[in-house]
Amino acid sequence: MGKLKAYVPVLLSLLISFVIILLIGFNSVNKAPGEVYKVYVDGNFIGAIKSKSALEKYINNEQKSLKKEYGVKKVYIPNGIDIEKELTYKGKIISEKKIYKKIKEKKSFTIKGYIVTISKEKEKDIKLYLLKKGIFDKAVKQVLYSFESKENVLNYKNDTQAEIKTTGSTIENIYIDQDITIQEAFISTDELIFTNEVDLTKYLLFGTLDNGKEYTVRLGDTIETVAFNNKLSPSEFLIVNPEFTNVNNLLSVGQKVSIALISPILNIVVEKNVVEDMDKPYDTIEKEDSSMDLGTTQVETEGVNGIQRVTEKIQYVNGEARPAYISNVEVLKEPVNKVVIKGTKKTYGGVYTGSIDPAISSGSWGWATVSPYIITSYFEWRWGRLHEGIDISGCGMGSPIFAIESGTVLSTYDGCSNYGSISDSCGDYFGNYVWIQHPNGVYAVYAHLMNGVVAYPGQQVSKGQVIGYMGSSGSSTGTHLHLGTFYGGTKYGEYGGGTVFNPLSLY
Ligand SMILES: [Zn+2]
């Protein structure tokens, strides 16, 4: 034992030097100039690096930060990456950072989530990427509530809508006019991935996550004027500024309001049954009286409008009314017709003083359709485009269309089929139409008429004269009349250059 004890230091020092040699030896192997790692993506060589662990560090760090960003436990690294050790490499060695960048250009990290595919015939599929499935339903509800009150929607769903006893409206159906599928999938973290319903709602409504422009309220502004001047309809203004409840809310000077344009991703359809009372207009009956001078008139009985209760079926797509139809009319009070006596006596030496047409002044303009009717679209902005006129519907295919004043027919078109649509090869926006030059610089277009236009170019028409019949030709989503009015000219062509104005300002 004593001998062995004497050897211990020698053995120990031998052991230490052996370990040192081993370490140096291994180190020198590691630092051998020929040894590298070759990196492949899907079998394609993308470069060589010195340190495998340095590259792994980049990948791990990215994984960590993505886990944090999306709040998920697992982030999948790009697949198809191979790293092979090579001892006799003579080519160029590049930095691990560069290789990492190259990998990221070709491949992405993925996380488990859901792909929502929104599809419609003849339209391109829209894909949305979600972290959680449940946020889609929640966001769709929020979008729906921006077009229709939550209270109404819940009453419809719970079958607790109040029955219409006199007038009012009920929802008959709510649906999305697109096919929607939701699939679980690995999603590239390079995509826009929705993690909460607030962002998703905003995206479904505006088609972007950018905050739209803001407007600072000035003296004299109203919701209606701010909306119109910024290409929004009043109802769109209320959607982008939910703190306001109706268009009559006051704005305060200096207040900032959103003027973001909505561009809905979904087509949310709400079908309603509406009952409302409207005037039943009186007719004017003329009687001749040979004891009165020609050119003179006298009102025998003043006209009084009656009342009619009208039941309408209206379809709203993302809050925008489509041409409606009337399902029932009940007359509550018959109108009293106006009776006018016209003199026919030609007095000797008397001078015929001219026209017995109504005076041309504000309030004298006639209506273009029969009654009852529904105005389903006003002269206002919708989705960033001005609707240059009003849409009148509910009168039915083939109901007469009247000239709103006397005038000269400038042009007509009668080549489109009766039931044209946007896809109709008769692509002209107006379909069958009549342009009339009315008094006081007013030019009017009567559009989407049924095949069989009555008016012809050069014709002199009088107020109330039938010029055609209500149809759905051209770019039209249902039977209606589009009445557009311009000042100083028509929209295009020979008489073009007119300024569009709201036809309702004539009445
Ligand atoms: Zn229109």
Query: Tell me: the pLDDT tens digits for 368-421?
Result: 998 888 999 999 988 788 899 999 998 888 888 999 999 999 999 988 876 544
| Torsions phi, psi for 238 (to 5 deg) | -70, -30
Distance (angstroms) between ligand 1 centre and the Cα of 500 equals: 13
**Mean predicted confidence (pLDDT) in 298-318:** 91
- How far, in Å, from the CA of 239 to the mean position of ligand 1? 22
Measured in Å, residue 450 CA sits from the centre of ligand 1 at 15
Sequence ranges of the domains in the chain: 34-107, 115-258, 269-356, 366-507
pLDDT for 433 beyond 50: yes
Whether domain 269-356 has CATH 2.20.230.10: the reply is yes
Mean pLDDT (whole number) for 288-302: 80
Give the pLDDT score at 154. 96
Q: Are 331 and 308 in contact (CB under 8 A)?
A: yes
Give the CB-side neighbour count of residue 112, counting CA atoms within 13 A.
4
Ligand 1 centroid vs 328 CA: distance in angstroms? 24
H-type helices in 230-316, by residue range? 234-240
As a whole number of angstroms, the distance between CA 28 and CA 367 comes to 99
- Smallest CA-to-CA distance from 424 within 445, 446, 448 is with 448
143 CA from centroid of ligand 1 (Å): 25
Q: Above 70 in pLDDT, residue 55? A: yes
289/420: higher pLDDT: 289
The rounded mean pLDDT for the chain is 85
Residue 172 has a pLDDT of: 96
Mean pLDDT over 461-468 rounds to 92
Residue (of 468, 484, 488) closest to 401 by Cα position: 468
Q: Find the 140 Cα to ligand 1 centroid distance in Å.
A: 28
- How far apart, in whole angstroms, are the C-alpha atoms of residue 171 and residue 148? 10
Who surrounds ion ligand 1 at CB < 5 A? 391, 482
| CATH code linked to domain 115-258 | 3.10.350.10
Local confidence band at 349 (pLDDT 50, 70, 90 cut-offs):
very low
Confidence of residue 297 (pLDDT cuts 50, 70, 90): confident
Euclidean distance between CA atoms 128 and 117, whole angstroms: 7
Q: How far apart are CA 271 and CA 152, in angstroms?
A: 12
Distance 433 CA to ligand 1 centre (A): 12
In the reported structure, the alpha carbon of residue 386 is separated from the centroid of ligand 1 by a whole-number distance in angstroms of 10
Rounded to the nearest angstrom, the distance between the alpha carbon of 332 and the centre of ligand 1 is: 31
Task: Report pLDDT digits (tens) over 252-275.
Answer: 999 999 999 888 999 999 999 999
Please report where in the chains the tokens 């849409």 appear, as a residue: 391
Q: Which two tokens stand for residue 391?
A: 């849409």
What's the CA dihedral at 118, 120, 125, 130 to 10 degrees? 0
CA distance 487 to 440: 8
User: Do 269-356 and 115-258 have the same topology in CATH?
Assistant: no
Q: What angle do CA 496, 364, 233 make, to 5 degrees?
A: 60
473: pLDDT strictly greater than 90: no
For the cut 70, the answer to whether the pLDDT of residue 423 exceeds it is: no
Q: Among 451, 326, 459, 452, which residue's Cα sits nearest to residue 396?
A: 326
Q: Are 480 and 472 in contact (CB under 8 A)?
A: yes
Q: In angstroms, rounded to a whole number, what is the distance separating the alpha carbons of residues 39 and 99?
A: 8
- Tell how far the Cα of 1 is from the centroid of ligand 1, in angstroms: 112
Nearest Cα neighbor of 295 from 233, 216, 205, 355 is 355
Distance 5 CA to ligand 1 centre (A): 109
Distance 503 CA to ligand 1 centre (A): 12
Q: How far is the CA of 38 from the centre of ligand 1 (A)?
A: 66
% of the chain surpassing 90 pLDDT: 56
Confidence grade of residue 5 (pLDDT, cut at 50, 70, 90): low
| pLDDT tens-digit readout, 183-218 | 999 999 999 999 999 899 989 998 888 878 899 999
pLDDT at residue 492, as a whole number: 82
CA of 374 to the centre of ligand 1 (A): 13
Range scoring the smallest mean pLDDT among 157-161, 292-296, 407-411, 414-418: 292-296
* Percent of all residues in the chain with a pLDDT value above 70, rounded to a whole number: 87
DSSP string, 85-107: EESS--S-B--HHHHHHHHHHH-
Distance 479 CA to ligand 1 centre (A): 11
Ligand 1 centroid vs 11 CA: distance in angstroms? 102
How sure is the predictor about 303, in pLDDT bands with cuts at 50, 70 and 90? confident
- pTM greater than 0.85: no
For residue 444, report the distance from its CA to the centre of ligand 1, in Å. 13
Strand ranges, E, within 397-459: 400-402, 407-413, 432-437, 442-449
Per-residue pLDDT for 6 more than 80?
no
CA–CA separation, 466 vs 6, rounded Å?
130
Nearest to 266 by CA among 134, 387, 141: 141
Residue 318: phi, psi to the nearest 5?
50, 45
Answer whether CATH 3.40.50.800 is correct for domain 366-507. Answer: no
CA of 390 to the centre of ligand 1 (A): 6
Query: How far, in Å, from the CA of 232 to the mean position of ligand 1?
Result: 16
| d(CA 68, ligand 1 centre) in Å | 51
